[in-house]
Amino acid sequence: MLAIALTLLVLAATLYLHTRKSTPQKIFNVYSQPGKWFHLKYASFLVLLWTRRLAAKLSPPLSVKKLETMKPLSEHEKAFDATFFQAVSKNGFYFCGGIERRHRAKANGLFYIAVPELGLLESLKLPNTLLDADPASVLLMKEYSAEGICFTPVEPMKKWRVAFNGKMRVQASPSKLVDVKLSGDWTSSLPYFFFENDMSAKCLAKAIACETWSDDFFKTLKSAHQTHYEQMGFFSGTLSIDNKIYTLQMDAFRDHSYGYKRDWTLMHRYVFHMLYLENGTRVSIGLVSQPATTSLLLMGYVVPADKSIHCIENCDLVLYQHGENGTPGKNYAFCFETDNETYDAKINVIYEAFHFKGNNTEAKLIERFIECEVNGVKGKGVSEWHYNTTRT
């Protein structure tokens, strides 16, 4: 009995001392650190995630046709439905473009094309991205299109049409404009990655457990939720620049996001890298800081040449150690891990440009076209660094 009493006394004293621990300060007043209840919160949220995902697996599968349809915008003034495409080739061509549908027949739209002999080309209104949406996008809801940019679904998770038609500015000679027409098919037989069900449960639980829990926190977590999925693929098409024709065969990527609202003011920072290696491996890895929900969240996956898919579980690219002042480095390296392999990535930026979103006032995004080397295998890629322009 004495031993039991002493054990209980020690446990009580330990618990008392633990509750007296102070909450660690946020790094740069943004990035939350694990607190005294971190392990308990982590375990409880991880169990909740596993339970929800088990229920999702036991439910009827998601309809890819329903996922791929354009979504009616919610009544919120910041409602959105967005898609984004990018592609790279071994011989140095890149492109990326996107349409973010908004209310009032508006869209945030952008398009970049990199051509070895010309450098980077930018759609004419950049860095402004606020465009007038086309009638086919607003009324018919058949395509994501605005002012020469067009993405048209053809077969769910299999095929999209990608097109750009208009003038572009040569970044190296801003006064020089060229007539550009890009047209082709994005196709895929690779699996899509549905973040809500497929991203690492451990990474999400860790990010949530670092935050201070309250009723308001969980309400914000729910209201800020966005549906997001990504898919690797290929692009085949033609590019015409002032009537000079190029044939393109490219590794490619696309995503689709939609939800009740997309409020860029909630986001502090993020960085995403999409890497395409010469051995057929594809990588998508992101670090997101949205302090209202998760001030530091790691997400991503690797798709090897065998078409399997592996969640990224760990990464030593610490967001607040890279470009917190608004100027990220152009040569850097980081490591990341999946369930079965560790990867060492080296990044070298070839071209970069920036544009704005959120009525051109809320967010600055730096688009970067890169060369990479991962575990000794060379490749190309695209990275995007986001900064909140409403914070001081």
Identify the weakest region by mean pLDDT among 53-57, 151-155, 191-195, 302-306. 53-57
Q: How many Cα atoms occupy the beta-carbon half-sphere of 222 within 13 Å? A: 6
Is residue 392 predicted with pLDDT exceeding 70? no
φ, ψ (nearest 5 deg) of residue 282: -120, 145
Assign 61 a pLDDT band (cuts: 50, 70, 90): confident
Section 167-195 average pLDDT: 98
Q: What is the pLDDT of residue 17?
A: 46
* CA 378 to each of CA 236, 271, 286, 302: distance values in angstroms, whole numbers, following the listed order: 22, 21, 20, 15
| % of the chain with per-residue pLDDT over 70 | 94
Give the residue from 86, 88, 130 showing the smallest Cα distance to 107: 130
374 touches 283 (CB < 8 A): yes
Section 323-345 average pLDDT: 97
The residues near 156 (Cβ < 8 Å, ≥ 6 apart) are 64, 65, 67, 68
Assign 4 a pLDDT band (cuts: 50, 70, 90): low
Q: What is the pLDDT of residue 16?
A: 45
The residues near 226 (Cβ < 8 Å, ≥ 6 apart) are 257, 258, 259, 262
User: Cα(269)–Cα(60) distance, rounded to whole angstroms?
Assistant: 36
Q: What is the mean pLDDT of the chain?
A: 94
Two structure tokens written together for 27: 């790094």
> 12-43, pLDDT tens digit by residue?
544 544 555 668 999 999 999 999 999 999 99
Assign 340 a pLDDT band (cuts: 50, 70, 90): confident
Section 212-225 average pLDDT: 93
Domains belonging to the chain, first-starting first, are 58-388 (2.40.370.10)
Q: What is the pLDDT of residue 12?
A: 52
Q: What is the pLDDT of residue 10?
A: 46
387 touches 364 (CB < 8 A): yes
Q: What is the pLDDT of residue 168?
A: 99
Is residue 164 predicted with pLDDT exceeding 70? yes
